[in-house]
């Protein structure tokens, strides 16, 4: 329903969005994830129409809305958006804030529709409060109710949960997710929080320096990252150099199996939870440097020569700092880079 083709935007000499391509399907939640300054918000602003592209085009439901001479004004695009700071009107109460987004309805119907929207986000009892009398999570839900009110074709969410504390963030996220899915909305979420992207989105695009490095489902992108950056940005990963010999690669940790036949100098990624620790048994050994107990699980940092490797284990692993261990892979390693022979 949304197609972005070769979208490019520069500010002065700096290209902040560099020829990106992606599509968002009907009823799909699509996440743009990447570090601060990689161009996520600029991409959203181009889609809303607050910025104009230098190159490329944007199509919404088959209609060109930007690019190639077309410049549809933001209010005509039928796109809703929710920002990090909610942007609620401080002098209006909750129901007036929501009704404000319903200008297309006759006045008498606005309040009734705003009430229905507040019921959707379970805030009907707080209709009379001013924004400063609400928690961050409640304000966020008002902002969402206001943006879905006009029944937009697409909703854009820019770091919508980042100012909430971690517990509220999780519950608000789940509620917003359920609401978007029950209304069968299409949405784009911008976040730098990889866990949020993995749990919230149907598809993820990982951005770095204005470019998209990879697009796929959360599971696929986590399981098969294509670059070292994607491997380490979405979850923790061990990136190792080695020599691929067909079905396996020789590394500091020993031999790791490869899913795809590969030959030559490569860098591979293996996730900390895809390695199991065992007492030395004739293979490469490392020394435990740190044992990080987190209640539900443990992370070990293990030194193999100059290489530090991370391993996640069950909460009850008994290995201690200073012990020598061997690591056994329980999943394939993934090639994330082919290295030149120097
Ligand atoms: P964050 O997660 O920190 O919000 P982001 O990925 O959303 O980052 P953008 O806000 O898109 O990044 O900014 C990308 C780059 O473009 C940044 O270096 C920013 O300083 C720059 N930039 C954004 N808007 C403008 C502007 N109007 N004029 C000049 N530079 C800008």
Q: What is the DSSP string of 129-168?
A: --GGGS-HHHHHHHHHHHHHTT--SEEEEESTTTTS-HHH
Q: At what angle do helices 166-182 and 136-148 cross, to 10 degrees?
A: 20
Its pTM stands at 0.90
Can you state the angle between helices 107-120 and 136-148, rounded to 10 degrees? 130
- Read off the pLDDT band of 130 (50, 70, 90): very high
Residue 90 tokens, joined? 């401080």
**Per residue in 22-77, pLDDT tens?**
999 999 999 999 999 999 999 999 999 999 999 999 999 999 999 988 889 998 99
Predicted confidence band at 290 (pLDDT cuts at 50, 70, 90)? very high
Residue 289 vs residues 100, 236, 297, 307: alpha-carbon distances, Å: 58, 18, 17, 12
Tell me which of 12, 13, 32, 39 to substitute to probe ligand 1's pocket, judged by most ligand atoms within 8 Å of the beta carbon: 39
Please check the confidence at residue 210 and state whether its pLDDT lies above 60: yes
User: Residue 150 pLDDT > 90, yes or no?
Assistant: no
3-state SS class at 173: helix
Give the DSSP letter of residue 283. Answer: S
CA distance linking residue 98 with residue 24, whole number of Å: 27
Cα 255 to middle of ligand 1, angstroms:
43
- The reported pLDDT for the residue numbered 341 is 60
- pLDDT reading at 164 higher than 80: no
Give residue 239's pLDDT band: very low, low, confident or very high (50, 70, 90).
very high
- C-alpha to C-alpha distance for 318 and 298, rounded to whole angstroms: 10
C-beta of 37 in contact with ligand 1 (< 6 A): yes
What percentage of the chain carries pLDDT values higher than 70? 99
Distance 47 CA to ligand 1 centre (A): 15
What's the gap in Å between 57 CA and the centre of ligand 1?
20
Residue 35 in contact with ligand 1 by CB distance below 6 A? no
Q: Which amino acid residue places its CA nearest to atom 26 of ligand 1?
A: 11
Q: Does the structure show a pLDDT above 70 at 86?
A: no
Beta carbon of 45 within 6 Å of any ligand 1 atom: no
Q: How far is the CA of 202 from the centre of ligand 1 (A)?
A: 25
Give 81's strand partners.
156
């Amino acid at each position: 329903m949304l197609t972005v083709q070769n979208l490019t935007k520069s500010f002065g000499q700096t290209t902040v969005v560099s020829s990106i391509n992606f599509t968002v399907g009907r009823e799909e939640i699509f996440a743009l994830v990447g570090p601060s300054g990689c161009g996520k918000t600029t991409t959203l602003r181009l889609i809303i129409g607050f910025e104009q592209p230098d190159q490329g085009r944007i199509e919404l439901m088959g209609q060109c809305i930007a690019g190639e001479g077309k410049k549809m004004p933001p209010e005509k695009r039928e796109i809703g958006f929710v920002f990090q700071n909610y942007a609620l009107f401080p002098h209006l109460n909750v129901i007036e804030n929501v009704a404000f987004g319903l200008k297309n309805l006759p006045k008498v119907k606005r309040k009734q529709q705003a009430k229905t929207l507040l019921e959707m986000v379970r805030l009907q009892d707080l209709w009379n409060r001013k924004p400063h009398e609400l928690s961050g999570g409640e304000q966020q839900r008002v902002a969402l109710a206001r943006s879905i009110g006009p029944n937009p074709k697409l909703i854009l969410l820019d770091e919508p949960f980042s100012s909430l504390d971690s517990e509220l963030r999780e519950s608000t996220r789940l509620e917003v997710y359920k609401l978007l899915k029950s209304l069968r909305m299409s949405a784009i979420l911008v976040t730098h929080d990889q866990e949020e992207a993995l749990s919230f989105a149907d598809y993820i695009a990982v951005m770095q320096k204005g470019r998209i490095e990879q697009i796929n489902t959360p599971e696929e992108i986590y399981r098969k990252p294509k670059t070292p950056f994607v491997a380490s940005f979405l979850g923790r990963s061990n990136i190792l150099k080695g020599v691929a010999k067909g079905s396996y690669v020789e590394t500091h940790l020993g031999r790791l199996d490869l899913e795809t036949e590969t030959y030559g100098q490569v860098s591979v990624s293996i996730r900390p939870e895809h390695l199991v620790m065992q007492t030395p048994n004739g293979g490469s050994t490392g020394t435990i440097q740190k044992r990080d107990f987190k209640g539900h699980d443990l992370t070990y940092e293990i030194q193999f020569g100059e290489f530090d490797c991370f391993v996640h284990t069950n909460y009850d692993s008994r290995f201690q700092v200073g012990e020598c261990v061997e690591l056994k892979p329980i999943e394939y390693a993934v090639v994330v880079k082919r290295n030149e022979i120097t």
